[in-house]
Amino acid sequence: MTALTLSTAAAPGLRADAIVIGVAKGAKGPVVAPGAEAVDKAYDGRLAGVLETLGASGAEGELTKLPAPAGFKAPLVVAVGLGAEPDKDAGYDAEALRRAAGVAARALTGARKAAFALPADGPGAIGAIGEGVLLGAYAFDSYKESAKDARAKNGKTPLAEAVLLGGKPRDAAHKGAVARAVAVSEELNRARDLINMPPNDLTPQAFAGIAQSAAKEHGLKIQVLDEKALVKGGYGGIMGVGGGSAATPRLVKLSYAHPKADKHLALVGKGITYDSGGISLKPAGHNETMKCDMSGAAAVFAAVVAAARLGLRVNVTGWLALAENMPSGSAVRPGDVLRMYSGKTVEVLNTDAEGRLVLGDALWAASQEAPDAIVDVATLTGAMVLALGSRTFGIMANDDAFRTALHEAAEEVGEPAWQMPLPEHLRKGMDSPVADIANMGERMGGGLVAGLFLREFVGEGITWAHLDIAGPAFNEGGPFGYTPKGGTGSAVRTLVRLAELTAAGDLG
């Protein structure tokens, strides 16, 4: 990953491939954002005009390259749009900085070193710029043999080094902001790697093995239930879904404990390493991206490791419900009844509604430890994508205050989210003539129906929320801001923020 450092050096004397500056949309044209004073001065204070001549407006996502002024060691200035200029006393929005830094980092692929002269007026801004750089510079090309040769020839590697100007290397808060950005971004990028990994390599067993290595590295406790243990333990949901695949399922419990913690947070992730739909096979066109169906488990995994690296004063247990949903002679059929870990029976009407089955078992397992709250994360329904689009995740919960707190945490870290209801009247659509509940109900409101199903497997009296990240987990379009094509790492930053708020006692 890109190396990130703070420096008080002046821009002109810096040896770098480029100096990144911010340009905002002012009332009368583009304005140069604070941080770029030295560059503007070298342009005789005419930089805003120069940028306007080059067609820059300061709009978000915009990127303008211009030659560095005489006397600068760096040859290139890269101006990135920050959107509307904030009011006089207000600073730049953290998410605007994060996105602009990401746009610049992406454009600097192939460069060795860049200096970021963006408005870094405090730890919040420094952390946001740092995250934008580290997340924007991400690339997944470990499977491109051809790219390896090309890289050797034209150096098309991600930006190697980023120097943040304006931050003070000796200021504890500034240093802390960089350390947090590095820990969160590194784990988030690892989640992206897992999501992007092809499903023939990332089997449930392989995922569990990666979790084991991480547990060893970060001193976490880990327990892996393999298929024998799952059968013995009565995990009918996970075994039912995983039964059709030669790659057998796993339930991973990864625990981070702080000696002085007085709160316990449980995170549960849907980890379908490939969702073919099973016997209710998905049609072609709906399955090429279904390696992303373990994005919830990847987010939970990343968040637990990040919490450990940050040393948060809270206990965090991550549950990864890992299985591959495949059709075969041993696969679960529409019409089968599964006996879940909780003892409830489920009539499987559609084998493509598999996420709720593995999550049902994991939610019940998490409930047995009576945590203060449970949050599950899942690429659960296409209905949520229809409702909220491909950049916003849905939040459902059995507690209004907790749902609102999660929404605020998501907003704070720059993850678009929206609160969704769990309408009671939709529950009866899942009544089954043979079992306690069916795994499908009314088609309309399918995302909420799935949420209502999950609620049945949360222990009595436990605060619970469900994040349906089916939209934002995997970016099928082009890259934007700090978000690459493919796995995005959706929900990681919201979960880390939730752990921080829980540690600080700012929740319940």
Shortest reach from residue 343's CB to ligand BES, in Å? 23
Which of 358, 366, 336, 369 lies closest to 235, judged by CA?
358
CA distances to 101, 243, 326 from 240, in Å: 45, 5, 11
Give 182's contacts (C-beta < 8 A, 6+ positions apart). Answer: 1, 4, 130, 134
Exposed/middle/buried for residue 76 (C-beta within 10 Å: 0-12, 13-18, 19+): middle
Instruction: Decide whether 111 or 326 has the Cβ nearer to ligand BES.
Output: 326
Residue whose token pair is 């009296």 = 461
Within 385-414, the residues that bind ligand BES by CB under 6 A are: 385
CA dihedral 330, 301, 491, 167 (to 10 degrees): -160
CA distances to 172, 313, 316, 318 from 258, in Å: 22, 5, 9, 14
By the rule CB under 5 A, 324 interacts with Mn ion? no
Return d(Cα 32, Cα 263) in angstroms, integer.
45
Return d(Cα 332, Cα 337) in angstroms, integer.
9
Instruction: Decide whether 81 or 486 has the Cβ nearer to ligand BES.
Output: 486
| Bridge partner residues of 161 (DSSP) | 3, 113
By the rule CB under 6 A, 353 interacts with ligand BES? yes
Within 448-477, the residues that bind ligand BES by CB under 6 A are: 470
Strands 417-419 and 463-468: unpaired
Which of 262, 256, 269 lies closest to 309, judged by CA?
256
By the rule CB under 6 A, 446 interacts with ligand BES? yes
Give 105's contacts (C-beta < 8 A, 6+ positions apart). Answer: 2, 114, 132, 133, 134, 135, 136, 137, 158, 159, 162, 482
By the rule CB under 5 A, 275 interacts with Zn ion? yes
Span near ligand BES by CB under 6 A; candidates 61-69, 374-382, 408-416, 425-433: 374-382
Is 180 one of the catalytic residues? no
Shortest reach from residue 351's CB to ligand BES, in Å? 8
Return d(Cα 454, Cα 442) in angstroms, integer.
15
Return d(Cα 294, Cα 300) in angstroms, integer.
10
By the rule CB under 6 A, 379 interacts with ligand BES? yes
Shortest reach from residue 354's CB to Zn ion, in Å? 6
Residue 382 binding result from Mn ion, ligand BES, Zn ion, none, given CB thresholds of 5 to 8 Å by partner type: ligand BES
Residue 321 binding result from ligand BES, Zn ion, Mn ion, none, given CB thresholds of 5 to 8 Å by partner type: none
Is 356 one of the catalytic residues? yes
Q: What is the DSSP string of 284-306?
A: TTSSTTGGGGGHHHHHHHHHHHH
By the rule CB under 6 A, 440 interacts with ligand BES? yes
Q: Which of 17, 60, 352, 468 binds Mn ion (CB under 5 A)?
A: 352
Question: Of 99, 113, 356, 497, which is the active-site residue?
Answer: 356
Within 82-111, the residues that bind Zn ion by CB under 5 A are: none
Q: Which of 17, 275, 324, 456 binds ligand BES (CB under 6 A)?
A: 275
Please compute, for residue 418, the number of CA atoms within 13 A of its CA located in the half-sphere on the CB side: 14
Please compute, for residue 87, the number of CA atoms within 13 A of its CA located in the half-sphere on the CB side: 2
Residue 350 binding result from Zn ion, Mn ion, ligand BES, none, given CB thresholds of 5 to 8 Å by partner type: ligand BES
Within 292-311, the residues that bind ligand BES by CB under 6 A are: 293
Shortest reach from residue 351's CB to Zn ion, in Å? 10
Q: Which helix (H) or strand (E) holds 229?
A: helix 227-233
Span near ligand BES by CB under 6 A; candidates 214-222, 296-304, 335-343, 347-355: 347-355
Instruction: Decide whether 102 or 277 has the Cβ nearer to ligand BES.
Output: 277
By the rule CB under 5 A, 355 interacts with Zn ion? yes
Instruction: Decide whether 132 or 487 has the Cβ nearer to ligand BES.
Output: 487
Shortest reach from residue 185's CB to Zn ion, in Å? 27
Question: Of 151, 168, 175, 282, which is the active-site residue?
Answer: 282
Q: Which of 52, 62, 131, 293 binds Zn ion (CB under 5 A)?
A: 293
Shortest reach from residue 81's CB to ligand BES, in Å? 30
Residue 312 binding result from ligand BES, Zn ion, Mn ion, none, given CB thresholds of 5 to 8 Å by partner type: none
Residue 82 binding result from Mn ion, ligand BES, Zn ion, none, given CB thresholds of 5 to 8 Å by partner type: none
Residue whose token pair is 């987990």 = 473
Residue whose token pair is 């120097």 = 163
| Bridge partner residues of 465 (DSSP) | 375, 397
Span near ligand BES by CB under 6 A; candidates 59-67, 126-134, 244-252, 380-388: 380-388
Residue 446 binding result from ligand BES, Zn ion, Mn ion, none, given CB thresholds of 5 to 8 Å by partner type: ligand BES
CA dihedral 21, 24, 30, 31 (to 10 degrees): -70
Which string of x and - marks every residue 269-308 that binds Mn ion (by CB under 5 A)? ------x---------------------------------
Q: Which residue is nearest to ligand BES (CB)?
A: 382
What are the strands, taking DSSP E only, across 169-258? 221-225, 250-256
Which residues would be at the binding site for Zn ion (CB under 5 A)?
A: 272, 275, 293, 355
Which residues would be at the binding site for ligand BES (CB under 6 A)?
A: 275, 293, 350, 352-355, 379-383, 385, 440, 446, 470
Which residues would be at the binding site for Mn ion (CB under 5 A)?
A: 275, 352, 354
Catalytic positions, please?
282, 356
